[in-house]
């Protein structure tokens, strides 16, 4: 019997859904176990970081890394696992593009800390005590990881060989990737294991060249089954999102949320979506366009839900002066 492969799984700034996605492949997990041993999986098994540190470099065949990178611990593990692994896979939208945690880049670290530890209605912190990375207790120094200024995708921190997008990646894609690994059929790295068209191109709904007077949220309308949701005034991210999921959300009357990120020909997913939406608005003059635009709830969170850290905006840039001015304005 051929020697088994060695797989590692790690989660960084992640909701845990990508870990569950590994189990979503159901009985196929038994096929995985036939071809691979899992040598590191903190979510499911009691491994210590020192176990990984003790491994020989490149002794892990494939590391599936989910979650974005926001802390010194996550960055350390990204570099360590890169050194120990022959193939690094960014597993899920958070690792591929920053994902949902990446929306925190709309705020500065200082704003996040202030909100979390001082301003939330349930917080009682009259001393305004903030977390410190080190504390000298009588028993010795205690440390916690550093919370970085902004969120990064995995590819912004280390070299990534393969990107498996999705929030989480659909089981069919996970199985296809594992089979390709087992058979040595992976494409040349770096590569994205998904389609390279848009979700619109695999969507079964028909476009009728309708124009939109107002955008509505999904709970405000019962959509027609076969007609493009965007043309029914429901914001759908299909025009700026990579294919490969089989337009699965559209099959159940839900709009695409953009979780596969932008296809190769789209530089900025949010800008592409904004352009797609303005092209179907029933308005020519700026005032009317602005009025219709205002009917879109949370535009930044809608257009950049999964891709903020890899977008042209990337993160909120505050100069010290602008930040101070903002603080003064808030006090007034």
Which C-beta is closer to ligand SF4: that of 55 or that of 150?
150
Number of helical (H) and strand (E) elements in the chain, helices listed first: 12, 10
Cα(258)–Cα(263) distance, integer angstroms:
11
Which C-beta is closer to ligand SF4: that of 208 or that of 300?
208
Span from 28-36, 46-54, 171-179, 242-250 in contact with ligand SF4 (CB under 6 A): 242-250
**CB 302, min distance to ligand SF4, A:** 12
Residue where the block lists tokens 């309308």: 221
Rounded (5°) CA angle 120-122-128: 60
Cα(130)–Cα(113) distance, integer angstroms:
8
Query: Is residue 171 within 8 Å of residue 22, measured between CB atoms?
Result: no
Tokens encoding 173: 């894609």
Q: Nearest CA to 66 among 87, 93, 41?
A: 93
**CB 75, min distance to ligand SF4, A:** 17
Among 200, 212, 266, 313, binds ligand SF4 (CB under 6 A): 200
Tokens encoding 167: 């929030």
Among 257, 266, 269, 309, binds ligand SF4 (CB under 6 A): 257
Which C-beta is closer to ligand SF4: that of 247 or that of 281?
247
Residue 99 binds to ligand SF4 (criterion: CB under 6 A)? yes
Span from 30-38, 133-141, 231-239, 287-295 in contact with ligand SF4 (CB under 6 A): 231-239
Helix (H) or strand (E) holding 238: none
Among 98, 102, 233, 239, binds ligand SF4 (CB under 6 A): 239
Residue 309 binds to ligand SF4 (criterion: CB under 6 A)? no
Among 199, 292, 308, 310, binds ligand SF4 (CB under 6 A): 199
Residue 272 binds to ligand SF4 (criterion: CB under 6 A)? no
Cα(183)–Cα(185) distance, integer angstroms:
5
**Residue nearest ligand SF4, CB atom distance:** 238
Kind of pairing between the strands at 60-66 and 69-71:
unpaired
Residue 173 binds to ligand SF4 (criterion: CB under 6 A)? no
Cα(242)–Cα(198) distance, integer angstroms:
5
Residue 235 binds to ligand SF4 (criterion: CB under 6 A)? no
Letter string b/e over residues 277-286, b meaning 16 or more CB atoms within 10 A of that residue's CB: beebbebeee
Which C-beta is closer to ligand SF4: that of 22 or that of 55?
22
Residue 249 binds to ligand SF4 (criterion: CB under 6 A)? yes
Coil, helix or strand for 137? strand
Among 63, 229, 280, 281, binds ligand SF4 (CB under 6 A): 229
Helix (H) or strand (E) holding 292: helix 286-293
Give residues in contact with ligand SF4 (CB under 6 A): 14-15, 17-18, 66-67, 92-94, 99-100, 167-168, 199-200, 203, 205, 207, 228-230, 236, 238-239, 241, 245, 247-250, 255-260
């Amino acid at each position: 019997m051929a020697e088994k492969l060695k797989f590692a799984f790690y989660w960084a700034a992640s909701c845990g859904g990508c870990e569950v996605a590994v189990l979503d492949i159901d009985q196929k997990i038994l096929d995985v176990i036939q071809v691979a041993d899992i040598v590191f999986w903190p979510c499911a098994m009691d491994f210590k970081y020192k176990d990984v540190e003790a491994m020989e470099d490149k002794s892990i065949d494939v590391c599936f890394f989910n979650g974005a990178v926001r802390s010194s611990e996550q960055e350390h593990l990204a570099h360590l696992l890169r050194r120990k692994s022959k193939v690094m896979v960014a597993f899920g939208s958070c690792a591929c593009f920053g994902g949902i945690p990446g929306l925190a880049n709309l705020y500065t670290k200082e704003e996040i800390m202030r909100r979390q530890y001082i301003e939330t209605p349930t917080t009682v912190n009259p001393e305004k005590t903030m977390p410190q990375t080190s504390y000298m207790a009588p028993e010795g120094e205690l440390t916690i990881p550093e919370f970085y200024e902004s969120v990064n995708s995995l590819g912004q921190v280390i070299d990534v060989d393969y990107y498996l997008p999705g929030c989480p990646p659909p089981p069919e894609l996970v199985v296809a990737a594992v089979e390709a690994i087992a058979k040595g059929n992976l494409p040349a790295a770096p590569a994205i294991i998904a389609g390279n068209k848009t979700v619109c191109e695999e969507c079964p709904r028909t476009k009728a060249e309708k124009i939109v007077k107002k955008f509505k949220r999904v709970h405000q309308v019962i959509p027609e089954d076969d007609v493009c949701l965007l043309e029914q005034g429901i914001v759908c991210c299909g025009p700026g999102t990579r294919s490969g999921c089989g337009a699965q959300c559209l099959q159940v009357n839900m709009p695409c949320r953009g979780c596969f990120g932008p296809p190769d020909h789209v530089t900025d997913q949010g800008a592409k979506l904004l352009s797609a939406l303005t092209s179907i608005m029933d308005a020519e003059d700026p005032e009317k366009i602005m009025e219709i635009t205002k009917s879109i709830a949370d535009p930044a969170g809608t257009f950049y839900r999964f891709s903020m850290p890899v977008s042209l905006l990337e993160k909120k840039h505050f100069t010290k002066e602008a930040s101070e001015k903002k603080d003064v304005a808030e006090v007034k």
